[in-house]
Structures are given as structure tokens and as C-alpha cells.
Structure 1
Amino acid sequence: MASSFLSFSLLFITVYTADGFLEATVLRCEFNSTELKDIRYIQSLYFNKVEYARFDSSLGKYVGYTESGMRWADYWNNDAAQLARVNADRAAYCQYTTGIFYQRILSKSVEPYVWLHSEGSSTGNHPSMLVCSVYDFFPKQIRVTWLRDGQEVTSDVTSTDEMADSDWYYQIHSHLEYTPRSGEKISCMVEHASLQEPLVTDWDPSLPESERNKIAIGASGLILGLILSLAGFIYYKRKSQGRILVPSN
């Protein structure tokens, strides 16, 4: 986690008049550890959705963005007690809350789920594309590599960035373009904080994915046909049993 900053915010809103003049304060903490020196505290002040002033702990003072905001910033920057209070908020609010985040969330890890599949033909001498999709892992940092007969593949490989799923989990997709060779073994290797050892998933080219899909569709159609035939036979039998024979003259 030390390589990138995380952040959380708290919003305070006060409505001053019935006509909707709105004063809002947004407190934001950006951090990459629980050490106070690694925590940046930002207090943004808004009026009617316009930020007019901001305190930034990296500057140690207020900055104004509007005419009135600059007057307020100058006033607060000359108030030693106000600066002492807002600087103390970095430890009282940010450092305390950051410790909770690390203890209850950021120190946890969730193992990834790996799906190895192909795109395009995997037979003959034509290039094919293998996709190693890794889902539902936390934290974000992960390493996905391709192995050919146990050796790392460095060419013809493309990968997406880690993508957030909006639920604290992430996903990533790595693509390998290759020409199938008889007897070779291709694997996708995933290294993550949740794993005690790398997770290696081997590609099974015995039956192309397109063919497996065709078989699945054909089997589904056959089962549906048998069900319809059985239903028709039962209906016919019941109709036959319900007929009344009328003797002819």
C-alpha cells in the first residue's frame, strides 16, 4: 500500500436560510501509512457549491479561491489558535481513522478467482489468444504472468490495469497471443498478498472453447427435444383414453 495514496472524506453541510444558501465543509485525508508524516489533511470550505477557501496540511496554511475566500484565508492564517486547531485535526481525525482502516480493512486480503479461457481458434498453425481473467481480489497489488513449459513469457503479452469493482474488490485481465505447438504446456501464474504461494492455472487445449460451447448447446437442444416429445406422448395417451366409441348401424 505504500506505493500509492488512499483517501477518505467526511462532509459537513449547514443550510443558513430557507432559500437554500448552503455552507459545506469537506474534510479529506490522503495517506499511505499510519505515520502522521505520511498523512495529508485537506479542509475544503464551500458556499453554494463553490470552494472559496481550503486548508492544506502540506502547505500549513489556508488558501483562498474567491475574493471573500482570500480575506478569510488571510484572517485565519493570522490566527495562531485557529492554525493550531486545524493542524491538530490531522492527528485527531486522520491518524485515528487511518489506524482503523488499516486494522479492519487494509490489512485484510481476499484470494483471487482465476478463469483461463481462449478467444479464437486454438488448433492448427494460426495465432490464438488466451485470456487469464482474475476476479474478486484485495488488495489491489497483483502480478499476473504467463508460463510456457515453466518459463516466463515476456513477448506477445498485454494486460489491463487493475480495475475496481466498486465493492473493494478488483479484477485484471491478461492476454497472450500464441501459436499452438504439440506437447507444450501454457499456464497463467498469479501472485498476490492473499496467497501463500503463486496460484498456477494450466491451459487445457484438449477441446477448444468454441467446440465445448457447441456441445453444450447441442446437449441442451437434445434434452429440450426429449422433454417436448415426452410431453406430446403423454398428451396423446390421455386424449386416446378419453375418447368415447360410438357403435355404427
Structure 2
Amino acid sequence: MGTVGIAAVFLLSALILITDLTSAQDYMLEEKSECHYNNGTERVRFLRRYFYNQEEFVYFDSDIGKYIAKTELGRFVADQFNSDKEWMEYEKNNVQSFCVHNYGVLHTVTADRRVKPSVKISVMASGDDLYRHKHSLICNVYGFYPVGIEVKWFRNEQEQTTQVSYSGPHPDGDWTNQLLVDLETEIQKGDKFTCEIHHRSLESPLRVEWKPETPDSAKNKMVTGIIGFVLGAIFIVVGLVLYLRSQKATSTIRVRGTEAFIPN
């Protein structure tokens, strides 16, 4: 921020203490600097906003060129800041020194960055019978960058445009984003649902399919799992028996070898 900026923050704190002594013992002062870009850096707007106990009371707008008060406290602070020529010159220069400069730095890191999305489909059943109730099919698209993305639902290759809702996209905190797309629909035997994703990181649309399991397929999976469990248990038991036998045989040989060296 520099010497001028630090001095301004101290001045602002002092002004608040002077003008609002009733809560001077316990308060929160927050400052936010914002850059708003239009078509790159052709038109840049710089805002410095101040909050007192989570309420914005004054802000600087580079488009206007001065501080604007939003509360009675802010009016007094704005008058003090606007009368400081050195500080006002500093704030106006932030369009170039802060916004344009940081745009160039961040743009070199993010402009060409592409991260392909991952996709997971899940179903939220509203009843025990999959084929008698409406359900929500959720296409969870996550881990993608940049944020621009398009997600479509298809049922038997027919795009679904109704009963579709979107949640996001929202940042995951690791420079990637996440989006949930919900399709509320009835499910019939033989249906095939497809979540289709269009994103700049993909050479062609990513399509992930989901089909409802039939009772027979679910039963077959259960039987296969039981058989696998039984076979695994048999192998473990057989291996344990062979191991114990080998250990017993080794012990017998060692005992007999020792007896052969005992003198008469």
C-alpha cells in the first residue's frame, strides 16, 4: 500500500474512534479493493470500499474520482479523504498501478489454463420402486477451469429441457469449479440417460451415460459378490492350513537334529 496508504488507514481508524466513541472498544473495520474490467483493460474501474461492523459506510470510485458516503459516518470520512490531494492522487493512480498491473500478472497465469472436468452421476430416489416414482438424476461436474461450461441432459438421445435445474458453477477453492445439474424425471425399463458436457478444455463434448439396474442384474451382482467372498475365504483357510503344516514339519526336523548330537 505504501506510506500514503498506511497513513490513510490510520487516519480512517482514528476518524471512526472520534465519530463513534460508543462502540470504540469493540468494532471491526474492513477494507476491500476491487477491479472491474470491461473488454480486458480497455475500460477499468477501481473501487475501494470500507465496512464498519459489516456495514459499508464509504467507498472510492475511480469513475467518479472521489469518495462517496453511504452513511453519516461515511460522510465525515469522505470529506476528510477528498480534501487530501496526495491521497486522492494515489487512489486515482490505482487504476493503472493496481488493476492494470495485476491484470497482466494474473492473465499470464490463467489465460491459457485449461483443466478438464470430471463427471459423476448419482440418483436420488423418492421411493423404493425405481420405476414407480419420479427421481432426481444429478450430474456432478467438478474440477474444471475456466468457469464457462454447458451441461445438457439426454434421455434416450432426446435432449431434456424441462425439469432441469442448475446449482453453480461455484469455485472449489483450488482454482477449479463445480456444477450440479439436476434432472427430475420418471425412469422406465430400458432407459438410457446421458450427461453431456461442453467445455473449452475438451476437443469434443464429454458424454457420460447412466442406465437403471434391472432386478436381475442387481441379483447377479449380489450372487457374484457372495461367490467371490466364499472363494476368498476358502483360499485363506487352505493357505493357513498349509502354512501351519509347514511350520510343524520344520519344528520336527529341528528337534530330531538336536537329539542326534546329544552324547551317550
Give the TM-score normalised by structure 1.
0.67
Counterpart mapping for 1:24-173 below 5 A: 26-31=32-37, 33-37=39-43, 39-44=44-49, 54-63=59-68, 70-80=75-85, 82-120=87-125, 124=131, 127-173=134-180
Identical columns (%): 25
Tell me what 1:234 maps to: 242
Task: Check whether the contact 2:189–2:212 (CA below 8 A) recurs between aligned residues.
Answer: no
Q: 1:197 aligns with which of 191, 196, 204?
A: 204
| Cα distance in 2 between the residues matched to 1:60 and 1:216 | 74
Match of 1:6 in 2: none
**Offset at residue 139 of structure 1 (A):** 1.5
* Bigger Cα Rg: 2
Return the alpha-carbon distance in structure 1 between the equivalents of residues 90 and 149 of structure 2. Answer: 40
Cα offset, 1:144, TM superposition: 1.1
- Report the TM-score, using the length of structure 2 for normalisation: 0.64
Separation in 2 of the partners of 1:205 and 1:59? 59
User: Is the Cα contact below 8 Å between 1:156 and 1:178 reproduced in 2?
Assistant: no
Question: If each structure's helix is expressed as a fraction of its own residues, which one has the higher value?
Answer: 2
Q: Does 1:186 align with 2:193?
A: yes
What RMSD over aligned residues (CA atoms) do the two structures have, in Å? 4.3
- Say how many residue pairs are matched: 228
Q: Which runs of 5+ in 2 are unaligned?
A: 11-27, 257-264
**159-168 vs 67-76, greater mean Cα deviation:** 67-76
> Aligned partners of 2:95 and 2:106: how far apart in 1?
15
| Deviation of 1:202 (Å) | 2.6
Cα deviation digits, residues 118-157 of structure 1 (max 9, x gap): 4557965554543322121111221111112332112333
Equivalent in the alignment of 2:229: 221
User: Cα deviation per residue 1:42-101 (whole Å; 9 max; x = unaligned)?
Assistant: 235689999875422244212457888644532432455543332121122101211322
SS in 2 for 1:160: strand
CA gap of 1:118–1:33, structure 2 versus 1, over 3 A, is same
Equivalent pair of 2:131/2:186 in contact (CA under 8 Å) = no
**Farther off after superposition, 137-146 or 150-159:** 150-159
CA 235–102 in structure 1, closer or farther in 2 if over 3 Å, else same: same
Gap change, CA 1:32 and 1:199, over 3 Å in 2: farther
Q: For 2:168, what is the secondary structure of its paired residue?
A: coil
- Amino acid paired to 1:178: E
Instruction: Give the match for residue 5 of structure 1.
Output: none
Q: Is the 8 A contact 1:122 1:180 kept in 2?
A: no
- Give the equivalent residue in structure 1 for 2:262: none
Runs of at least 5 residues in structure 1 that lack an aligned partner in the other structure:
1-8, 17-21
Tell me, in whole angstroms, the C-alpha distance in 1 between the residues paired with 2:235 and 2:38: 61
